[in-house]
Amino acid sequence: MIFAIHQSKGNPKVYLFTRERDDLSMVPEGILEQLGKIQFLRNSRDPAHETDIISLRHKEIVARIAADGYCVMKL
């Protein structure tokens, strides 16, 4: 699964992963408020070519996106 990687501008260690770029429709309003402004960084790559941090959590990110439509993580 390819997913979109967004970053919180207020807390650059917090990332939001969604199915599509800028598609925040599945993210609850309260979480969006906590994240503040977010910016799209890029789409994911194959886990073998992904950054170490995302590669290690790739399965967890994909599982959360499949279940909830989004995933928020502090990396």
CATH number (domain holding residue 47): 3.10.510.20
73: its two tokens: 């993580």
In this predicted model, what pLDDT tens digit does every residue of 39-70 receive, in sequence order? 999 999 988 899 999 999 999 999 999 999 99
pLDDT at position 68: 97
Side-by-side strand order, sheet with 14-18: 38-43, 4-8, 14-18, 70-74
**Which residue range(s) make up the domain with 68?**
4-74
What are the φ/ψ torsions at residue 7 (nearest 5 degrees)? -130, 140
At residue 40, the pLDDT reads 98
The predicted pLDDT at position 4 comes to 98
How many folded domains does the chain comprise?
1
Averaged confidence pLDDT in the chain: 95
Kind and range of the H or E run holding 56: helix 52-68
Residue 63 and residue 21 in contact, taking contact as beta carbons nearer than 8 Å: no
